Amino acid sequence: MINFIRFIIRYHFFFLFLLFEVVCFYMLVSYNHHHRETFLNSSNKIAASILTVSGSFTEYFSLKRSNEELARENAYLRAMLPENLRETAAQPLNENERDSVNYIYYPAGVVHNSVNKLQNFITINRGARDGIEPEMGVISARGVVGVVRHVSKNYSTVLSLLNTQVRVSAKLRDSDFFGSIAWDGNSVAHAILSDIPAHASISIGEAVVTSGYSAIFPEGVLLGTIDDFELLPGEGFYRIRVKLSVDFRRLTHVEVIEKITSEERLELEKLTLDD
């Protein structure tokens, strides 16, 4: 026993090093694999308020660009005003049908953003007080941005689409074949769409949009366009390189989406799963 203690003391530097590494790796693994609330992330108050300062500078420098994007979105929304739509004879089936899909959009500013890691996060300046909850979708005027991960009172962190942990259900806009899109960690401007079957007809430049099968994003939000594709030998699925429509390096304003009926739907789906 004495010898053992002497051994520990003699090599205390090494054992202390091992102890610290074990603590680090425990945190690394538990933080990444469980959605556990921890105050040690950038939605905590001190870190977020410091990042807000730097975010406000970045925002100033990209004012021109965000103005253009807002103007483009204005034009798009104006085009959707009732008087601009052609009258159709078809009436909605009933009131409930029309109300069944209902989204609320919360505008938010980007406080901090990273693109050069494998796990990229965005911090936004809206939190629980503004009605943001984990697992809500985040989009910008140009397309899908990510999914809310942690929420504090005034801030939230968002798993960027440029995060290898994120997977979004997607489909080809023209042919409705669906698959899932995820980032492979290589290029800031590209992600990989997989699970599109080999018999689907696809072409370069075709738009890829959200499928609406997950309760997070509405159907038809733009993800990007097909840049390149190859048929995986022996698997029967395409591996499609999608050029993302959002430029993650210049992100200043986003919108967080709340889907009103999603809870009801999740409950129903849970029932089916439990059977």
> Residue holding tokens 């103005």?
67
71: which residues sit within 8 A by CB, 6+ positions away? none
Q: How far is the CB of 258 from another protein (least distance, A)?
A: 23
H-helix segments, the chain: 2-10, 12-33, 45-61, 63-79, 95-99, 262-274
Rounded CA separation 171/20 (Å):
45
H or E element at residue 180: strand 178-182
Q: Which is nearer to another protein, 38 or 203 (CB)?
A: 38
Q: Nearest distance from residue 85's CB to another protein, in Å?
A: 42
In angstroms, the CA 157 to CA 125 distance is: 9
> Smaller CB distance to another protein: residue 160 or 211?
160
Smallest distance from another protein to CB 176, Å: 33
Contact positions toward another protein, by CB under 8 A?
Answer: 12-14, 16-17, 20-21, 23-29, 31, 38, 40-42, 44, 47, 50-51, 53-54, 58, 114-119, 121, 157, 185, 187-188, 249
Q: Which is nearer to another protein, 38 or 100 (CB)?
A: 38
172 bridge partner residues = 208
Nearer to another protein, 120 or 140 (CB): 120
Q: Which of 259, 260, 251, 258 lies closest to 124 in space, CA to CA?
A: 251
Closer to another protein at the Cβ: 28 or 71? 28
Q: What's the closest the beta carbon of residue 221 comes to another protein, in angstroms?
A: 24
Helix residue spans in 62-136 (DSSP H): 63-79, 95-99
CA 159 vs. chain centroid, Å, equals 5
Q: Provide the minimum distance between the beta carbon of 181 and another protein in the complex, in angstroms, as a whole number.
A: 19
Nearest approach, Cβ of 160 to another protein (angstroms)? 10
CB 113 within 8 A of CB 161: no
Nearer to another protein, 18 or 70 (CB): 18
Tokens of 85: 């739509």
